[in-house]
Structure 1
């Protein structure tokens, strides 16, 4: 199932991004050492790091650069994973667990390093991420989370209700914790910056080029595009995430392709803006159906969260976020909303990124869990190293079989049921 019904152009990021590099659709069959399918963070990072190693790489993007989650997310660059360090040590053991913690903890570093190293035209700020706690139990979890990262050498700190209110500009949270490694970017400008860097390194990048089929041909792989042109390569790296997972059998049922919705106000007046996230942090909270919010580089207030599983039908599908925004920040009541947009995310069964190698020469990366900007940039670098050397030791997670969600055909029903249950448990804002 290809989610291409809702266009990218209504999103805030499409209206304020740096221009993309010039690209075109493929017009003739080609050969490469490596074919990368998907022009988002993971695919372009893979291509960049392969090209820097002198490996001939072609990238095929079905639509425009960043059409999927890379151009639709909230622009928060948050290191780590959904699982805390102690959980990862229990799940993977002391050696692999420690390696995964180190990998996940450094993902934001890589993003900001690439922006600087390649002189990308990407508005960005790095003042940290606040996780606001909405219940006493959630506050205890946030405090434990901060302590676990402190033991890993991170200057994380807990926040009481007064400090959280001062940093966030709202008194709706009991406290939380602050991770100083995090920050914010213009996400579409960043993925376009990755594309420019990959092209400059020697990668070949084609847009508006959907792949209709992917098949083995002796020792090679052959991708056939919708226009009929083919790309033949020894290795393939598939990085479509929630947009195009149906290209490989059984991959789509291994994720829940939920929709996340966002709204953005018009740029706030200096007086209003001064009282909202005054030090430039980004925030998401501890709700099961979490809220995430930030200011963009032009002073708009963004609010994101879950919406209908289906594609949107009109402004009413964003009304819940607009109500929440005014409850949290009454001072924005009456400020017009300038943008409403949405995008698909790939939720895996264990809330971890997945790597699959269903056949020799085909590597599949899927699953972001709200950490996609940094996680998938770093995953691209790790996958490039593996493709170049064949050494799996540098991969952050083990290569695993594809496993479908149970009763996948009924996912809309049970996702809606879970959403209703979570809303009841989360309570009001």
Structure 2
């Protein structure tokens, strides 16, 4: 099944989401202050915050808002980035590192504040996120992460094995830590409600409007759609992440976009439900190819992780996740799997978000690293501020040149091989 044809229909989120907003295809040429390409969290948040500033903007989405990774992820809202606070300071220096850490710390707050402010119809919980340590060396990592964030005022705690077992409902981890800022949302509902909020604020959103090309004419940008319609804009913001094409030369080769696979059971019985994540947290672990799991708002158990780099062929592509459920949560091993789906994650070479402006007025945001719910919602605020003011100080990350990943095609093959290797190494669990 090709990426273009892969529908939302197999997804739990599609089956339980809030109704989709009306986003008709663009049917005429228009001129606007800012054109946004991509109707995921970043693009919709950018549109919402631009509209609230009174800036005219339009979103062009190839499918429907939330069709890509924003409607296919695990719905976990995790503050922070892949780097710990001390690593950010070491990498970027004291001033910039602390500023970037503060930005990363705010990402979960953004999501829950937007849900409350706009009274979004989004099932959500905020009872924290737990990261389980899967090998002895990760026990110290968990202690370090918890301590570093606690020193900055976050409500975190290190868990020994007994407490980790109690909170997760499984005995496969050696220890862990909890970040009580984290939580979960119904991700497609959140994307659709973010779209609705942007529309109410004055943004225009068009679905089923693929972008065919970009060109600069004088001080303006021309965004040509596949249907032949054109948007003329003073600025363009690209927010396509794991579904990026070469709207700008070589842009798609700046990231690797592996598939993240998920399964969901039928709603569990009350007794089984109470034995898994009994305190309502969500979790992902410290594996190279991490596992992530949670209960949804109707008591289904979700399990996610890496699978084949290609698009799925049949149900066997999710079989490793079904084995994980049986090993980690024996009480749920007989629960039928009702949903199987996947979505692409944009991973940069340094595992950090990248911001580019290769030509004046063309702003590129790319790289979500699996934390897109909070990260991209918050990035949208910053992108809107920059598009409105032109002040780069409003951006949380430095603007860098577009640099491709060397031997990009080989890297895709490498990622596929690494996925296979770690799945074999973790065969005791999966």
The answer to whether TM tops 0.5 is yes
**Structure 1 residue 36 corresponds to structure 2 residue 55:** no
8 A contact 1:242–1:345 mirrored in 2: yes
8 A contact 2:124–2:185 mirrored in 1: yes
**Structure 1 residue 382 corresponds to structure 2 residue 382:** yes
**Structure 1 residue 70 corresponds to structure 2 residue 70:** yes
Partner of 2:291: 291
Partner of 2:237: 237
Partner secondary structure for residue 22 of structure 2: coil
Quick one: distance in 1 between partners of 2:79 and 2:413?
32
Quick one: distance in 2 between partners of 1:216 and 1:137?
52
Quick one: distance in 2 between partners of 1:26 and 1:419?
40
- Once the two structures are superposed, residues 57-90 of structure 1 have per-residue CA deviations (whole angstroms, 9 ceiling, x without a partner) of 0110000110110000000000000000000001
Partner of 1:54: 54
Partner secondary structure for residue 268 of structure 1: coil
Query: Displacement of 1:425 after TM fit?
Result: 5.2
- Which runs of at least 4 in structure 1 moved beyond 6 Å after TM superposition? none
Partner of 1:4: 4
- Once the two structures are superposed, residues 70-111 of structure 1 have per-residue CA deviations (whole angstroms, 9 ceiling, x without a partner) of 000000000000000000001111111111000000100010
- Once the two structures are superposed, residues 334-393 of structure 1 have per-residue CA deviations (whole angstroms, 9 ceiling, x without a partner) of 210000000111110000001010100000001111110000000000010011111111
- Once the two structures are superposed, residues 117-164 of structure 1 have per-residue CA deviations (whole angstroms, 9 ceiling, x without a partner) of 000000000000000001110111111111111111112110011111
Partner secondary structure for residue 223 of structure 2: strand
The 5 Å alignment of 1:325-344 reads: 325-344=325-344
8 A contact 2:307–2:419 mirrored in 1: no
Task: Work out the number of aligned pairs and report it.
Answer: 428
The 5 Å alignment of 1:270-419 reads: 270-419=270-419
**Two-structure CA RMSD over aligned residues (Å):** 1.1
- Once the two structures are superposed, residues 205-237 of structure 1 have per-residue CA deviations (whole angstroms, 9 ceiling, x without a partner) of 100000000100111000111111100000000
- Once the two structures are superposed, residues 289-323 of structure 1 have per-residue CA deviations (whole angstroms, 9 ceiling, x without a partner) of 10000000000000000000100000000000000
Quick one: distance in 1 between partners of 2:141 and 2:293?
20
Query: Displacement of 1:426 after TM fit?
Result: 4.8
Gaps of 5+ in 1: none
Partner secondary structure for residue 274 of structure 1: helix
Quick one: distance in 2 between partners of 1:277 and 1:398?
39
Partner secondary structure for residue 358 of structure 1: strand
8 A contact 2:63–2:208 mirrored in 1: yes
Query: Displacement of 1:417 after TM fit?
Result: 2.4
Partner of 1:176: 176
8 A contact 2:346–2:370 mirrored in 1: no
Gaps of 5+ in 2: none
Quick one: distance in 2 between partners of 1:70 and 1:10?
15
8 A contact 1:255–1:347 mirrored in 2: yes
Partner of 1:227: 227
Quick one: distance in 2 between partners of 1:418 and 1:260?
14
